[in-house]
Structure 1
Amino acid sequence: MTPAVNEGRGYPLRLLVLFAFALTLALIWLVLPLERGAAWALTIVGTLAACAMLAWRTRQLAHASAQNAQVLAALGTVISAIPDGMHTSMPLVLLTGDGLAALFDRDDTARLAWVGNGAIWLRVDEPNALPRLAAAVKQWRDGRAPDGVVLSVAPALHANADALAQKLRLVRQAMADASRLLGTRLPGYVAVYQRLAGRGPIALVTRDHVTDAPQWYGVASPTLLDGTSAFESAVRAAEGAVQETSRVRDAVARTARSAGIALIVDWTQRVVMGTLLDRQQPAAPWPLHGAGWIDCGPASGPDSPWEREVELRTKVAPAPIAASPLPWPLPQPLIESMPVQRQTAPRMAALGHALALLACAAAVAFWGTAKNNEVLLTKIDADLTRFRAIPSEHDAAKRDALASLVADRDQLDRYARTGVPLRLSFGMYHGAELIVPLNHAIASYAPPAPPPAVVTLDSMSLFDSGKAQLKAGSTRAMVGALEMIKAHAGKRILVAGHTDNVGDPASNLRLSVARAAAVRDWLVDASGLSTTQFAIQGYGDTRPIADNDTQEGRARNRRVEITLVPDAAKQAPSAQ
């Protein structure tokens, strides 16, 4: 099995981006109440954002795969004998710091990873590589981050305390960067490898045999440890373990071992933890979950920080101590109390995020459909209100409002027959309830009565006998005709004059024309209409409506008739 950094086994971010983009397009074009220009603008912005995120993710995966190929290939080689799936269930620990070659060079083979002691151990030679490798491990383990980071400290490998503090600060910064990159705080442990002064390892007697294997002393917890109290309990536990497990007859050796453990714990607290836990540093403090010490490590000489510490505290220069045989034991006891990760597999997390996106899209869709329905109902209500507010005398405006009602009713009928569109659905549509009031309003329209064909004015009330000038006060007789003309401003007006048969016919014809012109001029001034809308005609005595042999008949024949006719230009289409 050869692991690889790819999105197929990890979090499918690109697939999720495409899903979110599809949801966005559906909302923009099918649901949201947007103008066409705004919809296109949002579509372009969303497309550019999705393409940028896909390109960034693709580049990130390719870069991570290229950088971590060697380590991940080593992991694949090491765990090839492990059943499939165990790489996510076994604890995986990143080990950095001192003495990595002595810890990983097993079976005369240099290794980058090791499976043993109940965990997968991954070697991190450079502290700066810790964040990158932690992210690669998380991707390789289907979204499960490393279970912890162990810092190995071998005091004998450092020339002075300042150089050790500088390296500890680098590791602390790398740990903070890794936790920030992963989005979770990784548990941290410190393993100190130091040969204690004067003696070899204490022989431990079990029921079956005696073993000379070096033992770990320390403390570990699933929760964060407080430095001072944790180290005090570690010293007491270590001294007690030495007294209880040791069966050697040399009491001096036991006493020396207890004193050595107390010294190394105190030194670790002041020098190592003083740097890792100092809150004055810019990086986050080391998330301490455990610390352990073992009587194992490199050769110790008089120039190491530890030896100088012993000489300062005891006033006795310790003798040089030989290096422990390789390989050094891995700090397995430290991780036995490792906190259990409760992480969701990346594909399950992606499914949850997809459902969350779907829920957000549904919420936006509900809002959009509610808004669309509100706009529809508001428009129909406004059309109904406008139609009812227009008096029947204003027939042109009434008919325009009626056309809007008919369009609204036809739209609602179409929805009832073919189905409600998505932008109005989701249970928000109530337009069917408005069909009945629309039909009632449409049925309530009654066209106005047709205008009178002819308005007849008595010439004797307008003119003196034989005259064509309007008499004073005669305009009152034409007020009715004026109101009719204003109410039908789109009509043309024909003003015709008539006389009786008394007198010369030619004179009567000229008089009828002159009287029609006088009435026309007054109507033009009073109505404000153009002269081109009026026509005059004189008929003289040629069109009597009564018998000219009687006085009453001649009075009826002396008249001016005002007739409203449709404009010829407006009648042409209907005539055609």
Structure 2
Amino acid sequence: MTGYPYRTVFVWGAVLALFWLAACSPWSVAWNLGIGTAVALVACIALAAATRRIRAGRAASRQVLSAMDSALRTLPGNIRRNTPLVLAVGESSGVLARAFGNDVVHVTDVAIWVRVEDPVQLKYIADALKRWREGQGPDAVAYLVDTDSTVDAATLTAATLRWRTAVDETSRAVGYALPVCVAVYAAESAVSQLPCPWFGLSGVLPSQRSALTDQIAASALAHARWVAQGERARWAYRVAQLDAAARWAAGALLPGLTDSGRGTRSVNLVAFGVTAAQGAVSSDSLVGHYANAITGLKQPSLTAAHARLPLPDALLRGIALQPMQHPLPRALAHAFVGLAVALCAAAGASAWQNRALVARIQANMMRYQAVPPEHDAARSDALSALRRDRTELERYARSGLPPRLSLGFYRAGALLPTLNTLIASYQPPEPPPPMIELNGLSLFKTGNAQLNPGSNRVMFGALEMIKAHPDKRVLVAGHTDSTGNPANNMKLSEARAASVRDWLADASGIPLSHFAIQGYGDTRPKAPNDTDAGRAANRRVEITLIPDCRSDGTTARATHSPPGQPACSFE
């Protein structure tokens, strides 16, 4: 709008937000994609709105800028910065037509006056003029009021509210509260040779409107000493007209501009004045009704030629020129603020994620240390998590930290030695107890527990296994099929286990106390008993090596001891 690079700032903000989401965000990928899409959509909408506003401003101000160039072409180059530039608006188009004629721009000895008839275009024209003056915005807005043309209070109130809203929007657009000057024209029908100056105040106005109008009336009366003796009666009548117009405007017009509670900010009123202008005097105007109410005299409606209204140059004396406001430093400041906010957000996200990383690794270490060695499956899972953590930390040490962790809050590197120590301390569990299965058909006859002749060849493998592990206890378990009585099958399986034990003890020279026997009968089939092949598979003898007992009476790997009588009960 004012030479300020809105679109560039929008793009910069969107880039910072997207970079933060891509590199620093602690949220999930789905959340980042959703928020990133929303950011891109908002940026596109903002760019489209800014582009549309710039184009609308150019279209609205093209005629004004062309008129400015034509009016000021012959004037010195610094006129645009050293001369007050005032936007003239009115409660009706008629007052602007009487003040400007057909001109859009009027240059006086005091100011450059620019005519604005549409409240919607006020902000665009003000913006264009600020760029035309290279960062120096308009110095004031002059609100011109022709008292005798206002005959409807509702119309006046609506017009005042529209201009108040337009001035508020324009002030936001140019970046400062535009000073507002209210100029009131009191119509007089008689052609007078007495020039009428502006009576009013400029600069700091009194808070009480009655004090404002009293000072204007006092100034008008004091001016009588400069009036010729023969004109003082007419001047007194003029003073009464000026006083009525000023008091009416102060009571009917200024509240609509300055009172709060209308949805917009009150205008920055810095000047108020009244003058007499030749025109039609109507008793039906609002001022006529007001004058009749306070004086009791009804003015006749008189018609006179409409002279050109003088622009209120005198009311600009208390209004200072606006300083130069280059948009680039402000845009750079906003870009720097956006960068600072992004860095703070990135630092906060980095600190949060570093803390979460350390907490996760410490939790994995505590979980690993809390699992007892005999629960090897859970211990292996915990060890896998430690190895993943170590791989992650080693990758960071080797390749550098990702942006989400690399803002000075990284503390997980100190945990790497502890991870290495815990991983190195892991001892894999002892292998399951060796077991040899002997086919019962090759060892015994049906229903018999005596070893068949030549069955020792079948048991040589078991004998070699026992001799290779002299530190292990030996469990001999007998099994039968489901044929016959279960109680007899249980006794038969135990007797067969005892026969095998006796042979192994005798052949190996190992004491019988190193062996244990167990009969299971048909309670643990390995195949269905409804077929010959299944029943043959179930008639078996299993020889299992079990770790020796510890001093505390527990096995070294109790979890891997086979069902049945534990090795520690051999004695």
Q: Do 1:224 and 1:287's aligned partners in 2 also have CA atoms closer than 8 Å? A: no
Q: Do 1:149 and 1:189's aligned partners in 2 also have CA atoms closer than 8 Å? A: yes
Letter in 2 for 1:116: T
Distance in 1 (CA, whole Å) between partners of 2:501 and 2:116 is 126
Q: Do 2:450 and 2:499's aligned partners in 1 also have CA atoms closer than 8 Å? A: no
Number of corresponding residues: 476
Distance 1:121 1:24, change over 3 A: same
- 2:412 pairs with one of 424, 431, 441: 431
Distance 1:512 1:271, change over 3 A: same
TM-score of the pair, normalised by structure 1: 0.69
Which consecutive unaligned segments of at least 5 residues does structure 2 have?
Answer: 444-448, 463-473, 481-495, 518-542, 548-571
Which residue does the alignment assign to 1:257? 235
Distance in 2 (CA, whole Å) between partners of 1:151 and 1:137 is 18
Q: Please tell me whether residue 411 in structure 1 is matched to residue 392 in structure 2.
A: yes
The within-5 A match list for 1:58-137 is 58-81=51-74, 87=80, 90-97=83-90, 98-105=94-101, 110-126=102-118, 129-130=121-122, 132-134=124-126, 136-137=128-129
Q: Do 2:477 and 2:497's aligned partners in 1 also have CA atoms closer than 8 Å? A: no
Which residue does the alignment assign to 2:245? 267
Q: Please tell me whether residue 162 in structure 1 is matched to residue 151 in structure 2.
A: yes
Distance 1:76 1:433, change over 3 A: farther
Distance in 2 (CA, whole Å) between partners of 1:141 and 1:37 is 49
Letter in 2 for 1:74: A
The within-5 A match list for 1:558-569 is 561-563=543-545
Q: How many Å apart are 1:224 and its aligned residue?
A: 7.2
Q: Deviations over 1:451-498 (max 9, x none)?
A: 5xxxxxxxxxxxxxxxxxxxxxxxxxxxxxxxxxxxx4xx66324699
Which residue does the alignment assign to 1:292? 273
Distance in 2 (CA, whole Å) between partners of 1:101 and 1:554 is 131
Which residue does the alignment assign to 1:39? 32
Which residue does the alignment assign to 2:331? 350
Q: How many Å apart are 1:337 and its aligned residue?
A: 1.3
TM-score of the pair, normalised by structure 2: 0.69
Which residue does the alignment assign to 1:386? 367
Which residue does the alignment assign to 1:445? 426
* Worse-matched range after superposition: 299-308 or 180-189: 299-308
Distance 1:123 1:542, change over 3 A: same
Distance 1:553 1:168, change over 3 A: closer
* Worse-matched range after superposition: 232-241 or 175-184: 175-184
Q: Deviations over 1:128-153 (max 9, x none)?
A: 65455445545655666533221223
SS at match of 1:422: coil
Q: Do 1:216 and 1:294's aligned partners in 2 also have CA atoms closer than 8 Å? A: yes
Distance 1:555 1:363, change over 3 A: closer
Q: Please tell me whether residue 174 in structure 1 is matched to residue 154 in structure 2.
A: no
Distance in 1 (CA, whole Å) between partners of 2:282 and 2:205 is 38
Distance 1:270 1:195, change over 3 A: closer
Letter in 1 for 2:198: W
Q: Deviations over 1:273-323 (max 9, x none)?
A: 41441559957666532222234x233456684678778848597897965
Q: Do 1:94 and 1:121's aligned partners in 2 also have CA atoms closer than 8 Å? A: yes
Q: Do 2:88 and 2:116's aligned partners in 1 also have CA atoms closer than 8 Å? A: yes
Which residue does the alignment assign to 1:509? 455
SS at match of 1:117: coil
Letter in 1 for 2:50: R
Distance 1:127 1:395, change over 3 A: closer
Which residue does the alignment assign to 2:347? 366
Distance in 2 (CA, whole Å) between partners of 1:558 and 1:215 is 132
Distance in 2 (CA, whole Å) between partners of 1:432 and 1:390 is 25
* Worse-matched range after superposition: 51-60 or 307-316: 307-316
Distance in 1 (CA, whole Å) between partners of 2:302 and 2:358 is 94
Distance 1:338 1:273, change over 3 A: farther
Distance in 2 (CA, whole Å) between partners of 1:80 and 1:197 is 38
Q: Do 1:17 and 1:54's aligned partners in 2 also have CA atoms closer than 8 Å? A: yes
Letter in 1 for 2:352: K
* Worse-matched range after superposition: 67-76 or 82-91: 82-91
Letter in 1 for 2:203: S
Which residue does the alignment assign to 2:141? 149
Distance 1:544 1:13, change over 3 A: same
SS at match of 1:277: helix
Which consecutive unaligned segments of at least 5 residues does structure 1 have?
Answer: 1-6, 203-212, 452-487, 523-535, 566-576
SS at match of 1:423: coil
Which residue does the alignment assign to 1:236? 218
Q: Deviations over 1:92-124 (max 9, x none)?
A: 21112354344334xxxx420123333321112
* Worse-matched range after superposition: 258-267 or 15-24: 258-267
Distance 1:178 1:492, change over 3 A: farther
Distance in 1 (CA, whole Å) between partners of 2:167 and 2:10 is 25
Q: Please tell me whether residue 519 in structure 1 is matched to residue 461 in structure 2.
A: no
Distance 1:564 1:241, change over 3 A: farther
Which residue does the alignment assign to 2:315? 334
Q: Deviations over 1:490-526 (max 9, x none)?
A: x663246999xxx98625739999x99981549xxxx
Distance in 1 (CA, whole Å) between partners of 2:436 and 2:100 is 117
Q: Please tell me whether residue 395 in structure 1 is matched to residue 376 in structure 2.
A: yes
